[in-house]
């Protein structure tokens, strides 16, 4: 009789690939799993208790903070603070990084996370998610410094997301492929459902907020027009799928292929590089996508090569099947350069 691969066993097996491993990363990923189960429980019953709606506050992004946003943020920050393996944390819900040191030598890892991405959709019962990115500390001093967070996606030790959808799924990678686990709430375990996800080389779905079309560059607009032309021999026009919740849109793209796009736009002068954040949205998602054989780009360079300079900085983001993203990059090279 087969019980199935649990997340904990998968993490332990991956640790055994590294004889030098201390087990700290294993502890971290299991702590993410535990916090995700608590948030999942609250998201599932959000409509039944007074945890929907707004708190009346605004976050660093100027966005309305929802009660579940704040709840999720408190849970993940508490879970990461008590672990002792982190030296510094960055949350989408906090303007400044948070040092983690309880007097002992602070931990050897950093974490940047979006505790509840897509939360504007919660009251409509649309899927939302948590995104996390784990780096090894690089500074030597007694206390961590922001540069410990401001590392490229290439240097990630682990990354992943939790999707609170029709089921709760945790998708992660430590650099040995991208794997997905579904929470069985009856036993409280994440069980492997997709081993070594491989994104199709080409897909026939595109995912973007076309309401921003007038504000996109000529290269992006040309690509959108191209994939909407009727040419059955090449599978065009593609199907449009956009949930407006990054974790859900990326999850579908990972499994079915195609391209997800959040281009830079001229709509808001305060956001010249688009809406999505590099450190705790685009970098971790790019890591997962590349580990699954896909491509993630800002239109001209790999997302994983981008050097962050601020924890909340934003970037244009195009990710998905290699052939689709390369076509988009060629359109940008031809019309925007």
Residue with token string 């360079």: 301
CA–centroid distance for 187 within its chain = 26
To ligand P6P, the closest distance from the beta carbon of 25 in angstroms equals: 26
**Which are the contacts of 190, defined by CB distance < 8 A and separation ≥ 6?**
6, 7, 33, 170, 181, 182, 183, 184
SS (H, E, C) 58-101: ECCCCCEEEHHHHHHHHHHHHHHHCCCCEEEEEECCCCCCEECC
To ligand P6P, the closest distance from the beta carbon of 135 in angstroms equals: 22
Measured from the CB atom, the residue of 120 and 139 that comes closer to ligand P6P is 120
Measured from the CB atom, the residue of 189 and 265 that comes closer to ligand P6P is 265
- Enumerate the H helices of the chain as residue ranges: 7-15, 24-44, 67-81, 218-227, 246-256, 283-291, 322-335
To ligand P6P, the closest distance from the beta carbon of 303 in angstroms equals: 15
To ligand P6P, the closest distance from the beta carbon of 264 in angstroms equals: 13
To ligand P6P, the closest distance from the beta carbon of 259 in angstroms equals: 14
Chain residues binding ligand P6P by CB under 6 A are 117-118, 120, 209, 244-246, 249, 275
Which among 246, 258, 284 is positioned nearest to 200, based on CA atoms?
Answer: 258
Measured from the CB atom, the residue of 214 and 244 that comes closer to ligand P6P is 244
What phi-psi label fits residue 92: left (phi over 0), alpha (psi between -120 and 50 degrees) or beta? alpha
> Tokens standing for 182?
């579904």
Which among 199, 192, 284, 208 is positioned nearest to 242, based on CA atoms?
Answer: 208
Measured from the CB atom, the residue of 204 and 275 that comes closer to ligand P6P is 275
Measured from the CB atom, the residue of 80 and 262 that comes closer to ligand P6P is 262
To ligand P6P, the closest distance from the beta carbon of 116 in angstroms equals: 10
Cα distance between residue 202 and residue 293, in whole Å: 11
Residue with token string 């992943």: 160
Measured from the CB atom, the residue of 84 and 165 that comes closer to ligand P6P is 165
How many residues comprise the chain?
337
Cα distance between residue 168 and residue 164, in whole Å: 5
Measured from the CB atom, the residue of 86 and 287 that comes closer to ligand P6P is 287
To ligand P6P, the closest distance from the beta carbon of 255 in angstroms equals: 17
């Amino acid at each position: 009789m087969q019980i199935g691969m649990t997340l904990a066993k998968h993490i332990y097996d991956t640790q055994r690939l590294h004889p030098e491993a201390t087990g700290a990363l294993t502890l971290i990923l299991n702590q993410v799993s535990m916090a995700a189960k608590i948030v999942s429980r609250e998201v599932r019953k959000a409509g039944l208790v007074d945890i929907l709606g707004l708190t009346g506050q605004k976050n660093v992004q100027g966005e309305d903070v929802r009660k579940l946003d704040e709840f999720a943020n408190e849970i993940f920050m508490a879970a990461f603070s008590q672990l002792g393996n982190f030296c510094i944390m960055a949350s989408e819900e906090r303007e400044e990084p948070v040092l983690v040191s309880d007097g002992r030598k602070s931990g050897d890892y950093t974490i940047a996370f979006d505790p509840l991405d897509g939360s504007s959709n919660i009251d409509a019962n649309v899927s939302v998610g948590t995104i996390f990115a784990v780096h090894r500390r690089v500074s030597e001093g007694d206390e961590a410094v922001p540069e410990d967070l401001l590392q490229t996606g290439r240097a990630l030790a682990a990354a992943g997301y939790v999707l609170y959808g029709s089921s709760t799924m945790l998708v992660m990678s430590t650099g040995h492929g991208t794997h997905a686990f579904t929470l069985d709430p009856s036993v409280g375990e994440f069980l492997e459902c997709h081993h070594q996800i491989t994104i199709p080389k080409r897909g026939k779905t595109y995912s973007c907020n076309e309401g921003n079309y007038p504000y996109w560059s000529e290269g992006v607009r040309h690509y959108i027009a191209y994939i909407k032309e009727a040419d059955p021999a090449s599978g065009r026009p593609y199907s449009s799928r956009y949930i407006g919740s990054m974790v859900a849109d990326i999850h579908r793209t990972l499994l079915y292929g195609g391209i997800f796009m959040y281009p830079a736009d001229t709509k808001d002068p305060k956001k010249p590089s688009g809406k999505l954040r590099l450190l705790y949205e685009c970098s971790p998602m790019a890591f997962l996508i590349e580990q699954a054989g896909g491509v993630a780009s800002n239109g001209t360079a790999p997302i994983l090569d981008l050097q962050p300079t601020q924890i909340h900085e934003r970037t244009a983001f195009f990710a998905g099947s290699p052939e689709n993203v390369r076509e988009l990059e060629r359109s940008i090279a031809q019309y925007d350069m």
